[in-house]
Structure 1
Amino acid sequence: MSDEQKISFLSIPDRDQVPESVTKLWDKSEEAMGFVPNVFRAQALNSDQFLAWWKYFNLLVNKEGYLSNAEREMIGVVVSGINGCTYCAVSHGAALREFSQDQRTSDLVAINWRQADLSERQRALAEYAEVLTEAPGSVDEDDLLPLREAGLSDHEIMEAVQVIGMFNMTNRVSSALGLVPNAEYHSQART
């Protein structure tokens, strides 16, 4: 693999080096998105761990939940921007553009969410994501007040906490591996 094609600091397994469950996921991604996300290829190095991560990530981010898809993606982009995770900021920035249908706001959220035109609810979620990401040891019950004032239920708050936690963990894995975002993400959901 040439330096131009390098997507991770570690080796990338070939199809014949991973179990069928991984190749099925790769094929499903190729069919749905037109490409296999580099995170899927890189993390498949340890297939069982990758599939366990994907099952929980998929449940939190891609399935019907208490928060909207756009809210979950916005949280992911805020957390990824704070953590400086290029892969996740770019890939989930693309998903946020798609779900929100708002390119400008999505791009601003990725750089500095405070400059984006967010609703009270979105601002409360972004602010909480920032606090929990930057200073988890300082978080207390009072930090939930803005979320409650913005009308979030306990179920929605729990989901937000789990999504924030998942993105913090995923950001660290992606950054540690030096994951490079797929080129397709840069133009996705842009007019």
Structure 2
Amino acid sequence: MTQPTPSRFPVPAIETLPEDIRSRLLAVQEKSGFIPNVFLTFAFRPVEFRAFFAYHDALMEKDSGLTKAEREMIVVATSSANQCQYCVIAHGAILRIRAKNPHIADQIAVNYRKADITPRQHAMLDFAMMVSRDAHLVSEADFTELAAHGFSQDDIWDIAAISAFFALSNRMANVSAMRPNDDFYLMGRLPKASTGS
């Protein structure tokens, strides 16, 4: 059996990549022990790699009214609706780790309406799903509903932007047949082994 490829598109050898991209891939590998296939897939187009990850980081790594776990909830819920295997698996792993909850990613991927989340998070995901699938239906009533749950204008922008950005990511992952790394499947499901004797 042949080893599955990360993508339908050519994956460049790391040593052939521009220095900034090569350094980022090696830093990710150092931190997580592997290079997620999204990095290898987008490395096919270096200019787009830089733009994609700059926007990703601007949305997903900053401090704001949304926790990092809530950001990942948006990714998992909308990616499931968009049938993006890569993003559900990869961001499900990140969500389990950030929420410190081994069940939450599966619950949200299958049906966020039945997940063990707060009413505030439920409203957040309702809006994220609307942006992902029916953005033309967004109205002032949706802003009023979110404000009632304590979301600021900046928070609402973040919910919309994360949903919209990952709609792009979902589509590119599906078109490229981006394969989730095997490492993602077990991440955050079991407590880390104790290092004590």
Normalising by structure 2, report the TM-score: 0.92
Match of 1:143 in 2: 142
2:188 aligned with 1:189: yes
Question: How far did residue 60 of structure 1 move?
Answer: 0.6
* Cα distance in structure 2, aligned partners of 1:3 and 1:18: 25
AA at the equivalent of 2:126: E
* Cα distance in structure 2, aligned partners of 1:63 and 1:133: 21
2:46 aligned with 1:52: no
* Cα distance in structure 1, aligned partners of 2:3 and 2:14: 21
Q: 1:29-58 CA deviation, whole Å, 9 max, x = no partner?
A: 011111111010011001111111101101
* Cα distance in structure 2, aligned partners of 1:53 and 1:153: 26
AA at the equivalent of 1:187: L
Instruction: Give the secondary-structure state (helix, strand or coil) at the position aligned to 1:4.
Output: coil
Question: How far did residue 17 of structure 1 move?
Answer: 2.7
Match of 2:111 in 1: 112
* Cα distance in structure 1, aligned partners of 2:105 and 2:14: 34
Moved more, 22-31 or 103-112: 103-112
* Cα distance in structure 2, aligned partners of 1:59 and 1:32: 20
Identity of aligned residues (%): 31
Q: Which one has the bigger helix percentage?
A: 1
**Where in structure 1 are there 5+ consecutive unaligned residues?**
none
Match of 2:71 in 1: 72
Match of 2:17 in 1: 18
* Cα distance in structure 2, aligned partners of 1:139 and 1:145: 11
Moved more, 8-17 or 25-34: 8-17
**Where in structure 2 are there 5+ consecutive unaligned residues?**
191-197
* Cα distance in structure 1, aligned partners of 2:44 and 2:104: 35
Q: Does structure 1 conserve the Cα–Cα contact (< 8 Å) formed by 2:101 and 2:188?
A: no
Match of 1:169 in 2: 168
Match of 2:126 in 1: 127
Match of 1:83 in 2: 82
Count of residue correspondences: 190
Q: Does structure 1 conserve the Cα–Cα contact (< 8 Å) formed by 2:65 and 2:151?
A: no
Q: Does structure 1 conserve the Cα–Cα contact (< 8 Å) formed by 2:84 and 2:174?
A: yes
Match of 2:195 in 1: none
Q: Does structure 1 conserve the Cα–Cα contact (< 8 Å) formed by 2:77 and 2:108?
A: yes
Instruction: Give the secondary-structure state (helix, strand or coil) at the position aligned to 1:103.
Output: coil
* Cα distance in structure 1, aligned partners of 2:80 and 2:13: 31
* Aligned-residue CA RMSD (Å): 1.3
Structure 1 stretches of 4+ with a deviation exceeding 3 A read none
Normalising by structure 1, report the TM-score: 0.95
Q: Does structure 1 conserve the Cα–Cα contact (< 8 Å) formed by 2:95 and 2:104?
A: no
Question: How far did residue 3 of structure 1 move?
Answer: 4.4
Question: How far did residue 145 of structure 1 move?
Answer: 2.5
Q: 1:75-97 CA deviation, whole Å, 9 max, x = no partner?
A: 11111011000000110000110
